Amino acid sequence: MQNAKDTFYTTLQSRLAVLNPARTIVVRGVTRTATLVEENELPSAVVPLNAFCLQWTGLRVNREEPMPMATLECSIQYATDGTTGNGGMDRGRLLAGMDAELASALGAEPQTVEKMNYSPAGTGVAATAMGTNIFWADPVFNAATTVGERLQRTATVQVLAYQEAGEL
Amino acid sequence: MSTTTTEAGVVAAVAPVSRRVRAYFAPVNRSTGVPTLFDAAQQGRFDLHAPPAPWIDLGWISGFARNSATKVDALRSGAPAMTVGQARTEVEATVSLEFETWGRLQGTLASGSQQTNLLATESGATLNGSGGVAAAPIPLLFATTTTATTLNVGAAATAFSVGSLVAVDVDYTGQLGYVGAGVSAAYVQSASAINSDVNYVRRVTLNVGVVTAIANGILTLSRPLISGVPTATMQVSQLVGFCDREGASFFQEWSALFVMQGVQGDRVLIHYPRLQAMQASSEKKEELSFPLEKIRPAGVFRALPVKDANDSENVLCFRSYLPAALRDV
């Protein structure tokens, strides 16, 4: 299942980067695309702003098929305070922009991509293609909530993948 | 030259998972009864956004359902009678679907009969349900560029504007039988039945387009006309929309292809070489958020047979499955 999670993350990250290359975030001193997986980062109580933060929540496994099918629920949180230059009064516009970017990235064809194994990947070592594709359903955008001057939303998307022989 | 390849493993075959169904149209030559055949062996892997000619993309559809009414009866023998075999005593199949758009083709197919173009009328025309007497057509100029996407109408271009809808077809001059460029759009039983209307063929034709630009007397269309480059005898009429009628006599027939693209790269193709409309026009409503409703044109079609050249079997439908790469079969 980790391969499915990694593949979905890298796919979403690259699509979002194409849609808005200017959306970046500094993590541990490194500027990178503003899409991250919470469980892959240092634990922190700080909510990253103007970034997409993925959390892997639900999991179901259907073993009735020749290959078990895993359905993983991915919650994508994003928040904004607006810009200081505008006194935060543009936070609705910024959140709408993030809504549109996420909807476009997840809705773009194809909504399926070859599953990759990133375990052996590293410097000079490429990820290897596996035998099946991962795919995902349409996202569900939950109601935006306001915390102080902060506007935030969580979208959930079901990511599906087959467990190949020998895959953990 | 080495022919050595690396051995690759296969993964287990699983049931196709698809998001939705895409539909494609091709004309049936009604005069000869010859449909357009789709060969999944040669054409099955086409780009869903660019089907092979003459297939035309109808877009995504909803509510796609195939219904077989084929009857298989038991053959019995002896006392007491015991089933010793089976026989097909009746072969019947229908298809129902809803289109996501109200294009000219989708509207025609879901109309159940001939759909007419609401041609712009002449001044003072008597009111009529499917449109009054049409304005005089505008001739095409062939001295310069007239193609499937550009219509040279010369000085008459001032009568058009960007966004104008146009029908391009021949004048009615007494033809009997099927009429309509590219696709048989209606059947003329007698000239008197249609009042020898010179605009009748343009009134029913599916050879229509949207003007997206006008320059130097040339109308540019959003997409190629369904019949290709206009012929020298064709003229142009403006239209404002489309109309179909409950009770009209014509049965629309088309060659149909439905594709379900699997997420693993597999593909299910369902090909009905001959589908005829079997219900009058209807719509399906989907509530978006009260009181808003999406209205989709809905159609039900009966399949007609063709003979498979491989074994001379009369069949109604071809279902093909193309597995994804390196899947067990």
CA B114 to chain centre: 12
pLDDT at residue B2, rounded to an integer: 56
DSSP state of B134: B
pLDDT at residue A14, rounded to an integer: 97
Nearest Cα of chain A lies from the Cα of B264 at a distance, in angstroms, of 5
Rg (CA), chain A: 17
Strands annotated E in chain A:
24-27, 30-33, 35-37, 52-62, 69-80, 112-117, 128-136, 140-141, 145-147, 150-162
State the pLDDT confidence band at B244, using cuts at 50, 70 and 90: very high
The set of residues, in sequence order, having a beta carbon less than 8 Å from that of A90 and lying 6+ positions away, is A82, A83
State the pLDDT confidence band at B3, using cuts at 50, 70 and 90: low
Mean pLDDT of B313-319: 97
- What confidence tens digit (pLDDT) does each residue in B52-79 have? 999 999 999 999 999 999 999 999 999 9
Antiparallel, parallel or unpaired: β A24-27 and A30-33? antiparallel
- What confidence tens digit (pLDDT) does each residue in B80-131 have? 999 999 999 999 999 999 999 999 999 999 998 999 999 999 999 999 999 9
Q: Is B15 on the interface with A (CB under 8 A)?
A: yes
Nearest Cα of chain B lies from the Cα of A41 at a distance, in angstroms, of 31
CA distance B205 to B182: 9
- Residue A80 CB-half CA count within 13 A: 23
Mean pLDDT of B17-27: 96
DSSP state of A155: E
- What confidence tens digit (pLDDT) does each residue in B91-101 have? 999 999 999 99
Q: What is the pLDDT along chain A (168 residues), one digit of tens a residue?
A: 999 999 999 999 999 999 999 999 998 899 999 999 999 999 888 889 999 999 999 999 999 888 999 999 999 999 999 999 999 999 999 999 999 999 999 999 999 999 999 987 767 788 999 999 999 999 999 999 999 989 999 999 999 999 998 887
Q: Is B9 on the interface with A (CB under 8 A)?
A: yes
Handedness of CA A107, A113, A118, A123 (dihedral sign): negative
Query: What does residue B41 show for φ and ψ, rounded to 5 degrees?
Result: -70, -35
Q: Tell me what the pLDDT averaged over chain B comes to.
A: 94
Q: In A, what residues contact B, Cβ < 8 A?
A: 65-67, 69, 111-112, 131-133, 135, 160, 162, 164-165
Q: Which two tokens stand for residue B81?
A: 């009678």
Q: Is B263 on the interface with A (CB under 8 A)?
A: yes
Q: Any long-range contacts for A56-59 (C-beta under 8 Å, 24+ apart)?
A: A56/A5, A57/A156, A59/A1
DSSP state of B320: E
